[in-house]
Amino acid sequence: MGKTSQGVTTSVLGCALFLVPGNVGAAEPTLLAVSAGAFDCYKQVNPAAELGLQWRGSGRLWRLGPMAGAMATTDGAFNAYLGMSLDVPLGEHLALRASVAPGAYAKGRGKELHSVFEIRSGIEAAWRFGTRLRVGVELYHLSNADLTEVNPGEESLVLTVAVPLSRSTASRASGPSSSEP
């Protein structure tokens, strides 16, 4: 990750902390997200299609919560990670989500990132439906954080669909049912 990318990511995450609304008790439910998109979409040294799966725990401190996931590309590259994400609601339906996660990368026949250890940092804009289903677009950067002499990094642009893992959480989020007093 270049110095500019690190600065932008740090600034976005830092600013997001101060933008979090005071309603701490309204954390998002635990979500399971599926993603599909373009790996190495910016530099296109070794572009590929990618698919991902991500678990997002509900926010505990402000809207900061754990996340774990993995992605694989059509070139056989694979990344598994464990980190944190921060939800920033912008009104009733729109939400931004910043995330950072260290992980392990295997290149397969894909792009050489020069380290097994990689850090994934991203930003997502999503639309939240009444059932707490979320549909969004995420841009993330995968880099060895200059831990090796060579640090090409890569950017991915993916479409995400995140569904709540609990029906009761989804029901509470959308309000009382018509049968309740």
- CATH classification for the domain delimited by 3-19+28-173, as one of 3.40.50.1580, 1.10.150.120, 2.60.40.1180, 2.40.160.20: 2.40.160.20
CA 78 to chain centre: 16
Phi/psi of residue 172, each to 5°?
-65, -40
Average pLDDT score over residue span 16-39: 71
What percent of the residues of the chain are helix, what percent strand, and what percent coil, each to the nearest 5? 15, 50, 40
Average pLDDT (149-166) is 95
Decide the pairing of beta strands 134-143 and 117-128. Answer: antiparallel
Residues for the chain: how many in total? 181
In this prediction, residue 122 carries a pLDDT of 98
Q: How far apart are CA 128 and CA 88, in angstroms?
A: 12
How far is 149 from 172, CA to CA, in rounded Å? 51
What's the whole-model pTM score? 0.79
Mean pLDDT of 157-161: 98
Which token pair is 140?
């993330």
The residue behind tokens 């991902």 is 52
Residue 171: strand pairing partners: none
Q: How confident is the model at residue 14 (pLDDT cuts 50, 70, 90)?
A: low
pLDDT (0 to 100) of residue 58: 84
Query: What are 32-54's pLDDT values in tens digits?
Result: 999 999 999 999 999 999 999 99
Top-confidence residue, 104 or 23: 104
Output the pLDDT for position 29: 86
What was the pLDDT predicted at 6?
52
The pLDDT confidence band at residue 170, using thresholds 50, 70 and 90, is very low
Residue whose pair of structure tokens reads 């992980």 in the numeric block: 103
**CB neighbours (10 Å) of residue 39?**
27
CA-derived radius of gyration, the chain: 17
Average per-residue pLDDT for the chain: 84
CA distance 5 to 79: 20
Predicted pLDDT at 168: 54
Q: Residue 3's pLDDT is what?
A: 53
pLDDT of 179 > 90? The answer is no
Q: In whole angstroms, what is the distance from residue 118 CA to residue 146 CA?
A: 10
pLDDT at 126: 98
Whether 12 shows a pLDDT value over 80: the answer reads no
Cα(155)–Cα(173) distance, integer angstroms: 33
Supply the pLDDT for residue 123: 98
